[in-house]
Amino acid sequence: MKATITLLPGDGIGPEVGAEAEKLLLAVARQFGHEFTLQTGLIGGAAIDATGNPLPEETITLCKQSDAVFLGAVGGPKWSDPNAPVRPEQGLLKLRAELGVFANLRPVAPHPATAELAPLKPHLLHGIDMLFVRELTGGSYFGAKRREADAAVDECRYTVAEIERVTRRAAQLARGRRRKLTHVDKANVLETSRLWRSTVTRIMDSEYPDVAYEHVLVDAMAMHLLTRPSHFDVVLTENLFGDILTDEAAVLAGSMGLLPSASVGEGKVGLYEPIHGSAPDIAGKGIANPYASLLSVALLLRHSLGLEAEAAALEQAVSSAISDGVLTADLRKDHPASTAEAGNAVLQRLSALAKAA
Ligand code: NAD
Ligand code: IPM
Ligand code: MN
């Protein structure tokens, strides 16, 4: 097939893990007989430095003209002054809004080999297979913001339509899995959460009677994630709660460098990014874990290009590299692999799988 993919490397380790994603896309095209046109755009701090704008118009145009977008990461100390007039993260939020990608899918299915390396007791990590569906274009991220003389306000607003569409997406995904949905909110305190709770209940009862569901308060969920993570299947939640809970879930996987994400909506262009940030503490050293990015490429192949066999082969290649102990410094202290070595290990395994297919 023919596809155009926009790469947005961004800041910090973004370009380092993005380079491995690019190598892999080219290898998938070569080995499976596809024609991928790759184009690169500016976003985040790099775009502020070059143009003053964290999401230049040219980048929006490139993204909208493509089939899918891969993003590395944005942000870093250089642009983090709380009084700065523009911020790298604004570029990413604007891109999500421009593409209309309201559902952020963040799968968490730890590899057995990394369970030994995670800080939690290995028996708690057995059988975890979760899919977070984080609402991505609403809530306090996008509500009105303002400064007052001695105060600041971030408005948290959700419409019924915004809740309905992401609930339907989560319920449909649950139908392809274990048919269990956990909706996470703070309905004992927040008005928006009460709207979420009644809307989720109505949609699930009337349209998805075959999917079991429960409501869990977010503070309790933060605990359940660590004490009984294998209980959960699809976890649906609003933007900010989903941001926080998925970094917590990265602990179950063993590292921030392992969790991928896919952001999708009704439009044709999907956005794929690791859930981690620009990791300023390790940037420039060539030691970042590229697997979250490579697994995000697998999600891109599956959700935007419909290449299920290629996506599954890539996931198998990453899994086999992990089984063989090809791990970066976040997961092994003795003889860690570099970012490029880990990327190359996946390339080699993918090539063997493609030949066998
Ligand atoms: P972070 O995710 O960048 O890093 C948190 C910790 O995880 C650090 O110790 C880092 O070294 C480690 N880590 C993250 N990714 C890793 C990888 N691939 N391999 C090995 N270790 C990894 O979070 P932070 O430090 O709180 O944020 C840094 C900057 O990144 C901020 O400006 C933030 O806004 C931005 N950020 C961007 C995105 C994004 O672009 N999608 C996501 C999260 C944070
Ligand atoms: C993420 C990041 C972003 C978010 C930031 C960088 C805007 O933390 O993708 O998880 O909060 O959504
Ligand atoms: Mn985050």
- pLDDT band, residue 266 (cuts 50/70/90): very high
Share of the chain above pLDDT 70, in %: 100
Considering only CA atoms, which of 291, 297, 299 is closest in space to residue 343?
A: 291
**Looking at the predicted complex, does its ipTM rise above 0.95?**
yes
90 and 33 in a single domain? The answer is yes
Q: What is the pLDDT of residues 235-254, one digit of tens each?
A: 999 999 999 999 999 999 99
Is 245 part of a structural domain of the chain?
Answer: yes
Is there a catalytic annotation at residue 243? yes
44 and 57 in a single domain? The answer is yes
| Atom 36 of ligand 1, nearest CA residue | 277
Domain boundary among 224, 253, 282: 253
Q: Which of 48, 256, 326, 331 to mutate to test the pocket of ligand 1 (most atoms within 8 A of CB)?
A: 256
Residue 356 clears pLDDT 90, i.e. is over it? no
Region 61-68: what's the mean pLDDT?
Answer: 98
Answer yes or no: pTM beyond 0.95.
Answer: yes
Q: What is the pLDDT of residues 180-211, one digit of tens each?
A: 999 999 999 999 999 999 999 999 999 999 99
Is 110 part of a structural domain of the chain?
Answer: no
Q: Calculate how far, in angstroms, residue 172's C-alpha sits from the geometric centre of ligand 2.
A: 25
263 and 240 in a single domain? The answer is no
| Atom 26 of ligand 1, nearest CA residue | 277
User: What pLDDT score was predicted for residue 153?
Assistant: 97
Question: HSE of 257 in the Cβ direction (CA atoms, 13 Å)?
Answer: 27
Number of domains the chain contains: 2
Residue 318 marked in a binding site: no
237 and 129 in a single domain? The answer is yes
Residue 357 clears pLDDT 90, i.e. is over it? no
198 and 321 in a single domain? The answer is no
Among 11, 23, 67, 141, the one annotated catalytic = 141
- pLDDT band, residue 116 (cuts 50/70/90): confident
165 and 43 in a single domain? The answer is no
Is there a catalytic annotation at residue 49? no
Ligand 1 pocket, Cβ-based, cut-off 6 angstroms: 13, 17, 73-76, 80, 89, 92, 256-257, 273, 276-282, 288-289, 292, 330
Q: Calculate how far, in angstroms, residue 104's C-alpha sits from the geometric centre of ligand 2.
A: 11
| Ligand with the closest atom to the CA of 292 | 1
Domain boundary among 253, 274, 295: 253
238 and 350 in a single domain? The answer is no
CATH number at 164 reads: 3.40.718.10
248 and 272 in a single domain? The answer is no
User: What pLDDT score was predicted for residue 355?
Assistant: 87
Region 55-72: what's the mean pLDDT?
Answer: 98
Residue 118 clears pLDDT 90, i.e. is over it? no
Ligand 2 pocket, Cβ-based, cut-off 6 angstroms: 75, 89, 92-93, 243, 275, 277
Is 302 part of a structural domain of the chain?
Answer: yes
Strands of the chain, DSSP E:
2-10, 35-40, 68-73, 103-108, 130-135, 145-148, 151-154, 180-185, 212-217, 234-237, 262-264, 270-272
Q: Calculate how far, in angstroms, residue 244's C-alpha sits from the geometric centre of ligand 2.
A: 9
42 and 61 in a single domain? The answer is yes
d(CA 275, CA 286): 19
Domain boundary among 253, 282, 306: 253
Question: HSE of 311 in the Cβ direction (CA atoms, 13 Å)?
Answer: 16
Please give the residue range of the domain that contains residue 46.
1-105+256-357
